[in-house]
Amino acid sequence: MNVCLIPARSGSKRIKNKNILKIDNKPIINWTIQTAKNSNIFDVIYVSTDSRKISNIVKKVGAKVPFLRPKRYSSDKSTDEDVMSHFLRYAKKEKIQLYSICYFYPTSILITEKILIKSFKKFKKSKANYLLSICSYSAPLDIAMKSKGEGLVEFLNFKYSRKRTQDMKKYYHDAGQFYWFKVKDYKIIKNKKFNYFYLDKKMSVDVDTKEDLEMLKILHKNKIKSK
């Protein structure tokens, strides 16, 4: 089976209940689930949550919540790997045959069905066992600076301070929107080789502040209008 796994814990210190805050009259996570459903590439869409309230919300739009995630895997210190491992133990216990998993964040509402489909096709063709979404840094890392204290900064590499930015290398970072994993014997196949799917910066809003949330609302409204 090819499944979508959406992690949605209830605790969020910076923005309370951000996964179910409403954007355009729908809980944020519902938009993500709808995108996954519309892509028609998943056998099942699972939501891993510690919240009964979130569980009730997502079940109404077709996601499965076969368990409430234990608190020990739902704290501020819990990692995505903890969530994945917990889900894989459940799948093994229930003898659910897994080929691949798309780990899709609930606030990734700017991702379209076409992007999911294209990334899945690239993932299937690749020899790598892992694909992540990436985007480029807004400015070249070659002109990065560091603080020297007393209101002073300095270039990490002064030799680049006089060069044109268009002549510098482009660097990338994890966009934090979705990942694809191959699964074997209920374990993620890990190695150092991985593939990527490039996203425009405007599709990679990480919702950590109220300003991020407002930007997400604006970009999502533009996304809906462009359909």
Mind listing the pLDDT tens digit for each residue in 103-128? 999 999 999 999 999 999 999 998 88
Question: For residues 18 and 200, what is the distance between their CA atoms, to the nearest angstrom?
Answer: 23
Mind listing the pLDDT tens digit for each residue in 82-101? 999 999 999 999 999 999 99
Question: For residues 172 and 162, what is the distance between their CA atoms, to the nearest angstrom?
Answer: 22
Q: Where are the domains of the chain?
A: 2-134+174-226
- Taken in order 194, 195, 200, 203, the sign of the CA dihedral is negative
What CATH code is assigned to 2-134+174-226? Answer: 3.90.550.10
Prediction pTM value: 0.90
Look-up of token digits 């003898």: 95
End-to-end, the C-alpha distance of the chain in Å comes to 30
Given a cut of 90, is residue 189 above it in pLDDT? no
